Amino acid sequence: MAKPRVYVTREIPSRGLDIIKERFDAEIWPEYAPPPKEQIVRKATEVDALVTILSDQIDSAVFSAGTKLKIVSQFAVGYNNIDVQEATKKGIYVTNTPGVLTETTADFAWALLMAVARRVVEADKYVRMGKWKVGWHPTMLQGRDVYGSTLGVVGLGRIGEAIARRAKGFQMKLLYSDVSRRKDLEDKLGIEYVDLDTLLQKADFVTVHVPLLKDTFHLIDEGKLKQMKKTSILINNARGPVIDEKALFTALKEGWIAGAGLDVFEEEPTPQQNPLLTLENVVVAPHISSSSHQTRSRMAAMVAENLVAFFEGRIPPNLVNKDVKVK
């Protein structure tokens, strides 16, 4: 029997790619830059499966073209780029890679938090650019203490929980807000449930870990930013559109809050002219929170395993649309 055909929209780490090449009739987009949308639509007409990443728009155009398409195996935990409802309607399975990236993503939220609080990037530039001319000085590059401060976690899912766990070592007071209360975690983590407004008013560090949904679009807007402490720092490595970037720029520029660490943007790649990039009190990264060698390898293996399971007639371990009925 012919092997199922799979189109892979980006070269993923070999731990998964090797399995895909061995088990399937695989074609891989060879470039670092993304394939044009028309390429994905064209390939969708030919293949049984797609392997996608979070910047591929997998919408009704792809699903309508994919008359043979049976499964989309996404290399990411988030899947806001995929019209899952449409996939389900068409009997197409959607899978993702949860769990394996939790700790790595939590590490990076902390890297941003520490970098903004202690002005690590500014300090690095200060030394390299020859501004360090006077030796040690009592007021040089003063930052904000992390230990003993209050951390507010917006969204206590897997990643939010991993971040809160790390905060214990810094003897932080912990607050969280969420659409559903996680009583099971409150004692375990020593974390207190509050509404979002209270969290914003009380926290010294606010870190956002909600998925991008209709209800979370611009969850942190001008009104919310105005509630935060002037000394507070906002971290986002979830999805860019959860924060209103224009309002965030004003907040940082006018001193409503003290700083921000951003791994995600409303538009990615963020344009070079994004005014946020002109601010010293912002640390930015190009959406790399899960990018460790180990984790990206594990994600690739999971992408392959989801495909293998499906084509062996098993339920893929990380099925997103559990109500899908096979075509």
Q: Which residues are catalytic?
A: 239, 268, 287
Query: Interface with ligand GLV includes 82 (CB under 6 A)?
Result: no
Query: Interface with ligand GLV includes 101 (CB under 6 A)?
Result: yes
Query: Interface with ligand GLV includes 262 (CB under 6 A)?
Result: no
Judged by CB under 6 A, which of 72, 76, 300, 303 binds ligand GLV? 76
Residues binding ligand GLV: what is the number (CB under 6 A)?
6
Judged by CB under 6 A, which of 47, 72, 77, 302 binds ligand GLV? 77
Inter-residue contact 176 to 164 (CB < 8 Å): yes
* Segment lying near ligand GLV (by CB under 6 A), choices 33-41, 70-78, 215-223, 309-317: 70-78
- The dihedral through the CA atoms of 124, 127, 131, 137 has a sign that is positive
CB of 290 to ligand GLV, least distance (A): 5
Query: Interface with ligand GLV includes 153 (CB under 6 A)?
Result: no
Closer residue to ligand GLV (CB): 190 or 286: 286
Inter-residue contact 163 to 182 (CB < 8 Å): no
132 burial level (CB within 10 Å; 0-12, 13-18, 19+): middle
The structure tokens listed for 107 are 């590490």
Judged by CB under 6 A, which of 13, 66, 78, 157 binds ligand GLV? 78
Query: Interface with ligand GLV includes 54 (CB under 6 A)?
Result: yes
CB of 299 to ligand GLV, least distance (A): 7
CB of 66 to ligand GLV, least distance (A): 22
CA distance 189 to 240: 27
CB of 78 to ligand GLV, least distance (A): 3
Closer residue to ligand GLV (CB): 264 or 324: 264
CA distance 74 to 54: 7
Query: Interface with ligand GLV includes 290 (CB under 6 A)?
Result: yes
Residues between 181 and 210 with contacts to ligand GLV, criterion CB under 6 A: none
Task: List residues near ligand GLV by CB under 6 A.
Answer: 54, 76-78, 101, 290
